[in-house]
Structure 1
């Protein structure tokens, strides 16, 4: 049977088919976000702990290394769950004590807007949006969404058990697959390297920032210093706008507790810590492993938050790296797209190793 030229889909047709398939995949991910988010979270943890496993395997049997890595991941999950539970409980006690002060502040702002010529309907809408109840609901939903992910411990631990033991054969499986699909193996290795660098470094520096911020807030006398320290740690995983999200609650509490001077102190000290650690030191350790431009990183944050909910903000970079690996780096002819994605004209498709 001969195939005529007319029977071969044109390039435009292939692009349309690929675009339609991508839309279907994205819609499927959005529909199954309650499953996709824990799976991606477990996969990210496995990737982060893989170097530890590789070192342990040189000194002990593979199954012992798997058990140690599994226990380390579970301890991390439990610690994060406990910290967030304590923070939510403390925040639930703290915010109502400032409800009347916050309502008075918002009312004053609304009156000021009205005196400046803003219509009463618009100013009332702004006041309602910034009420204590609304702010409490937003903050609680963010914390609760992260807690919901961590509280699915049975599902997460089950996934981690399988992934911890299956990761023992990753290197051998990758070596076998490389003979048939070298580009895909290299792309997935690049995804693993970028995810490990981003999450690992973000966790270390997020912990450093959280400890420093908590100490500064405690010295300044801002109530709920531990809560805002946990928030600073969590928001360090959110690209671009994580610092802004993390600074608003303590600055607002500082305003209600000690007036504009305390709020200004919180903003200045937070900004100094962020400028030194997150803007100068942290990028030196992350390097170019992420390979996403600033604009694309922000768009990925918006997109994955829409797809996966608030947890998508934490998983935005790993999810984008996975799609970049599968759709761009795995394509032998897709190397020209990498500079467009990374924003670095000189970037080439390296040959990462599976480790």
Structure 2
């Protein structure tokens, strides 16, 4: 049922015309949101790879569009798109797996250092008044075998994701094939659903800008971290540089994840002073770039405030698991496009969640161009 204007000139929704109070409408909306989120959590194992494939395809789709404009056959453009994404994923996965395997081979060399560290920690706890047996139990995990088992478990987890990886590659193949003709289908759909198509295009553009900014900052951080760790003689500096690059796609707190392994190796190599140096330099470089400068640039690029980005990270990680941390910003852009940008009556929310006000998205584009908003689709 279409809305109409009431006596005050405010549009009246269909729910209001049948006498539903606004409070009940809000409660029904919240109940529907809870059901939707519960469904996302149930199917997270399937949805997370699909959404990752969607994000990668959206990011790389300009390549196929450019090739078609140059006269390349559609099937060849689709193949180039799929191969490009495959090469990037396989290169990152191979580098990470080989580096973790090297770390497994390296850890047994630190048996003596770990034993000394364990004895020192147990002595410190005893001096603080702990029972010696209790202190030994608390420091029991500080041994080479435990850390080696932990890292081997991580490597096994990477290998165990092979089935999910095959599923991801299959989804990427079909999305890549459809991406070639999708712009033309969007143009046809825009004649009847301009707001929806505008929201989808806003999501695609925001996702590309986010990944471009994150990639540039990630490369800068990875190079600096690698040089710093190499100067400090921390083992496997290239591995930790690669880890910094990957965790840079996790908003706000990614540098903390990348800090733990080199700080631990710094403790084993040079004791507390070297570990403190590693933590201090990481905080100086990574915190300033990733947690101060980058969120501001990302917010301006995609139209999400720093608070919204952080809450997106927490929410999507809780819903989809570890992949949710990587997909937090793109998924928030998609949700914003489908729930806010698509409806003129909800665009006021854009002012509350955006970094620079409601200038982002389809509505902001029309305000800047001076065009009136399109009529609400029937």
Alignment TM-score, normalising by the size of structure 1: 0.83
Distance 1:294 1:287 in 2: 7
Q: Compared with structure 1, are the counterparts of its residues 327 and 147 closer, same or farther at alpha carbon in structure 2 (3 Å cutoff)?
A: farther
State the match for 2:375 in structure 1: none
Candidates 21, 31, 36, aligned match of 1:10: 21
- Could you tell me whether the CA contact under 8 Å between 1:146 and 1:311 is conserved in 2? no
* 1:351 is the counterpart of 2:365: yes
State the match for 1:251 in structure 2: 263
* 1:162 is the counterpart of 2:158: no
Distance 1:26 1:4 in 2: 23
Alignment TM-score, normalising by the size of structure 2: 0.79
- Could you tell me whether the CA contact under 8 Å between 2:15 and 2:25 is conserved in 1? no
Q: Where do 1:5-154 residues align within 5 Å?
A: 7-59=18-70, 60-98=72-110, 101-102=113-114, 104-105=116-117, 108-109=120-121, 111-112=123-124, 115-116=127-128, 127=139, 152-154=164-166
Q: Compared with structure 1, are the counterparts of its residues 159 and 338 closer, same or farther at alpha carbon in structure 2 (3 Å cutoff)?
A: same
Larger of the two Rg values belongs to structure: 2
State the match for 2:303 in structure 1: 291
- Could you tell me whether the CA contact under 8 Å between 2:117 and 2:142 is conserved in 1? no
Higher mean alpha-carbon deviation, 240-249 vs 104-113, is at 104-113
Candidates 250, 253, 276, aligned match of 1:238: 250
- Could you tell me whether the CA contact under 8 Å between 1:304 and 1:316 is conserved in 2? yes
Higher mean alpha-carbon deviation, 261-270 vs 110-119, is at 110-119
Higher mean alpha-carbon deviation, 26-35 vs 135-144, is at 135-144
- Gaps in structure 2 of 5+ consecutive residues: 1-13, 367-378
- Could you tell me whether the CA contact under 8 Å between 2:200 and 2:334 is conserved in 1? yes
- Give the superposition deviation at 1:237: 0.7
State the match for 1:199 in structure 2: 211
Q: Compared with structure 1, are the counterparts of its residues 7 and 58 closer, same or farther at alpha carbon in structure 2 (3 Å cutoff)?
A: closer
What's the Cα RMSD here?
A: 3.4
Distance 1:4 1:247 in 2: 52
- Gaps in structure 1 of 5+ consecutive residues: none
Distance 1:139 1:317 in 2: 29
Q: Compared with structure 1, are the counterparts of its residues 87 and 177 closer, same or farther at alpha carbon in structure 2 (3 Å cutoff)?
A: same
- Could you tell me whether the CA contact under 8 Å between 1:193 and 1:289 is conserved in 2? no
Q: Compared with structure 1, are the counterparts of its residues 71 and 270 closer, same or farther at alpha carbon in structure 2 (3 Å cutoff)?
A: same
Q: Compared with structure 1, are the counterparts of its residues 280 and 33 closer, same or farther at alpha carbon in structure 2 (3 Å cutoff)?
A: closer
- Could you tell me whether the CA contact under 8 Å between 1:174 and 1:185 is conserved in 2? yes
Q: Compared with structure 1, are the counterparts of its residues 123 and 68 closer, same or farther at alpha carbon in structure 2 (3 Å cutoff)?
A: same
Q: SS of 2:249's equivalent?
A: coil
- Give the superposition deviation at 1:175: 2.0
Distance 1:138 1:30 in 2: 27
- Give the superposition deviation at 1:69: 0.9
Distance 1:23 1:195 in 2: 26
